[in-house]
């Protein structure tokens, strides 16, 4: 008799580029165009530099709590480069790389993390959803959007993301179940960065992969090396194409590592073994793409320093614009969400107004 606990679910792991910048033989040639490699490399660095600057702003009291995406830049960049403008994105809070590629401005991101709700009112990417802080709820929103697209027979895809910890929640399983039975044009990318704040992946779930959680819902799933920009881009592009063509949902588990604190309110030194972090740095996404580009003679020190100067200048310009904005008004807490304010919130607005005018 075979018991269920002996069951093994086979989930493929896709990787084309190893940490030494060497390609596997099955890497599609179409991923190796110089223009694409340059674009990907520039964006990985833009994301990392923006991230470093945001942390520096927080540390000097000029930004609120900030969730860094250090080490996970290839997940967001691969997604952003694979999405088409008409697709819809329902992000969570560690998706800066994708959001920037969707046309969300660095200024919008700084405003959001600086406590200004207007940072979610993007000038571009108008149909994408705002940053989502409540864990996994964005997946339910994304399933709703995908249902609307299906009913309207629009050939677009919805992409949503979540963390490894989010896969333990009902808001993860329920929309996947719905996507499986209604065959929704939905792609879910799990950013498995190995930590949910201080809870390690090994204590999060008994499942040997996170991707296999989709299998029970009849949704195709795979793992991808989340530090390999080529593989991430390839599998996300394929999943989106399937969704647009009416071939149903997919789940992708991007296996990566959080090289930073959970947020600026955390200190990972208290729970992450230093040797593990040191090992993870050897596998990070930017260096391996740089090695590939050097092997192919399309990158060198001069281009590297020109890129650094250019990106630091662009980021500084945005930071100056951000720092010259007036402090957010407390009343903004109530703005931007409801067309018609519910009565209980209206009562709070009135109370705040009253307190302000009372010496
Ligand atoms: C519904 C809900 N419960 C708890 C929290 C507090 N919280 C913020 S981040 C986090 C961990 C999430 O970990 P994971 O899903 O792995 O995403 P990561 O932050 O690692 O990218 C928790 C529990 C929250 N934001 N929302
Ligand atoms: Mg996590």
- Other beta carbons within 10 Å of 160: 27
Buried b (16+ CB within 10 A) or exposed e, 73-106: bbbbbbbbbbbeeebbbbbbbbbbbbbbbbebbb
Quote the CA–CA distance of 238 and 252 in Å, as a whole number.
Answer: 11
Catalytic one among 43, 94, 102, 258? 258
1 within some domain: no
Residue 215 is encoded by which pair of tokens?
């299998």
Residues 285 and 352 in one domain: no
Catalytic one among 53, 262, 288, 322? 262
Residues 324 and 350 in one domain: no
Residues 149 and 275 in one domain: yes
Q: How far is CA 95 from CA 70, 114, 181, in A?
A: 11, 16, 28
Phi, psi of 87 (to 5 degrees): -65, 165
Residues 355 and 317 in one domain: no
Identify the H or E element spanning 223.
Answer: strand 221-225
- Taking the CA atoms of residue 241, residue 181, residue 250 and residue 217 in that order, the dihedral angle to the nearest 10 degrees is -170
- Taking the CA atoms of residue 46, residue 48, residue 54 and residue 55 in that order, the dihedral angle to the nearest 10 degrees is -160
Residues 47 and 121 in one domain: yes
State residue 333's pLDDT score.
84
Strand partners, 250: 187
Low pLDDT (below 70) residues in the chain = 1-6
Taking the centre of ligand 2 as the mean of its atom positions, its distance from the CA of residue 84, in whole angstroms, is: 26
Count of domains in the chain? 2
Considering every ligand atom shown, identify the ligand nearest to the alpha carbon of residue 161 and give its number: 1
- pTM exceeds 0.75, yes or no: yes
222 within some domain: yes
State residue 30's pLDDT score.
93
State residue 4's pLDDT score.
63
Quote the CA–CA distance of 108 and 216 in Å, as a whole number.
Answer: 39
Contact 183, 249 (CB under 8 A): yes
Q: Whose C-alpha lies nearest to ligand 1, atom 25?
A: 134
Residues 32 and 73 in one domain: yes
4 within some domain: no
2 within some domain: no
Taking the centre of ligand 2 as the mean of its atom positions, its distance from the CA of residue 302, in whole angstroms, is: 36
Residues 196 and 341 in one domain: no
CA-only gyration radius of the chain, Å = 21
State residue 165's pLDDT score.
98
Q: How far is CA 233 from CA 78, 79, 254, 322, in A?
A: 4, 6, 11, 32
Residues 71 and 141 in one domain: yes
- Is 338 tagged catalytic? no
Residues 143 and 225 in one domain: yes
- Is 141 tagged catalytic? no
3 within some domain: no
User: Measuring CA to CA, which residue among 57, 49, 55 is closest to residue 68?
Assistant: 55
5 within some domain: no
- Is 271 tagged catalytic? yes
Residues 65 and 152 in one domain: yes
Q: Which of 137, 196, 201 to mutate to test the pocket of ligand 1 (most atoms within 8 A of CB)?
A: 196
User: Measuring CA to CA, which residue among 54, 51, 50, 106 is closest to residue 259?
Assistant: 51
198 within some domain: yes
Catalytic one among 59, 124, 271, 276? 271
Quote the CA–CA distance of 230 and 240 in Å, as a whole number.
Answer: 15
State residue 1's pLDDT score.
61
Quote the CA–CA distance of 11 and 216 in Å, as a whole number.
Answer: 13
Taking the centre of ligand 1 as the mean of its atom positions, its distance from the CA of residue 340, in whole angstroms, is: 30
Contact 131, 76 (CB under 8 A): no
Domain span including residue 288? 10-328
- In sign, the C-alpha dihedral spanning 228, 145, 157, 10 is positive
Residue 338 is encoded by which pair of tokens?
């409801």
State residue 201's pLDDT score.
98
76 Cβ inside 6 Å of ligand 1 = no
Which residues make Cβ contacts (< 8 Å) with residue 359, sequence separation at least 6?
none
Which residues make Cβ contacts (< 8 Å) with residue 39, sequence separation at least 6?
81
196 Cβ inside 6 Å of ligand 1 = yes
Residues 347 and 243 in one domain: no
Taking the centre of ligand 1 as the mean of its atom positions, its distance from the CA of residue 207, in whole angstroms, is: 19
Residues 58 and 82 in one domain: yes
Looking up residue 107, the CATH number of its domain turns out to be 3.40.50.970
137 within some domain: yes
């Amino acid at each position: 008799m075979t018991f269920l606990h002996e069951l093994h679910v086979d989930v493929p792991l896709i990787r084309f580029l190893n940490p030494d910048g060497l390609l596997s033989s099955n890497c599609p040639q179409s991923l190796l165009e110089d223009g694409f490699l340059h674009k990907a490399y520039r964006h990985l660095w833009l994301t990392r530099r923006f991230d470093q600057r945001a942390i520096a702003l927080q540390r000097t009291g000029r930004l609120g709590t900030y969730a860094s995406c250090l080490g996970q830049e290839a997940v967001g960049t691969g997604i952003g480069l694979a999405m088409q403008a008409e697709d819809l994105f329902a992000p969570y809070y560690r998706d800066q790389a994708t959001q920037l590629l969707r046309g969300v401005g660095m200024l919008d991101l700084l405003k959001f993390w600086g406590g200004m709700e207007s940072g979610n009112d993007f000038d571009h990417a108008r149909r994408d959803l705002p940053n989502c802080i409540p864990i996994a709820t964005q997946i339910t929103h994304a399933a709703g959007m995908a249902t609307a697209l299906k009913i309207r027979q629009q050939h677009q895809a919805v992409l949503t993301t979540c963390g490894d910890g989010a896969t333990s929640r009902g808001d993860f399983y329920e929309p996947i179940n719905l996507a499986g039975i209604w065959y929704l044009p939905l792609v879910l990318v799990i950013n498995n960065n190995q930590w949910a704040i201080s809870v390690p992946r090994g204590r999060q779930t008994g499942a040997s992969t996170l991707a296999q959680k989709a299998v029970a819902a009849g949704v195709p799933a795979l793992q991808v090396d989340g530090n390999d920009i080529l593989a991430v881009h390839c599998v996300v592009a394929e999943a989106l194409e399937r969704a647009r063509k009416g071939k149903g949902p997919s789940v992708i588990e991007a296996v990566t590592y959080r090289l930073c604190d959970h947020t600026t309110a955390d200190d990972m030194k208290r729970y992450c073994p230093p040797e593990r972090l040191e090992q993870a740095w050897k596998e990070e996404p930017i260096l391996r793409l740089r090695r590939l580009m050097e092997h192919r003679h399309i990158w060198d020190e001069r281009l590297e320093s020109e890129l650094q100067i250019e990106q630091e200048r662009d980021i500084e310009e945005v930071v100056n614009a951000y720092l010259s904005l007036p402090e957010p008004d407390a009343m903004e807490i109530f703005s931007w969400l409801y067309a018609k304010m519910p009565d209980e919130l209206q009562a709070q607005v009135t109370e705040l107004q009253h307190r302000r005018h009372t010496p």
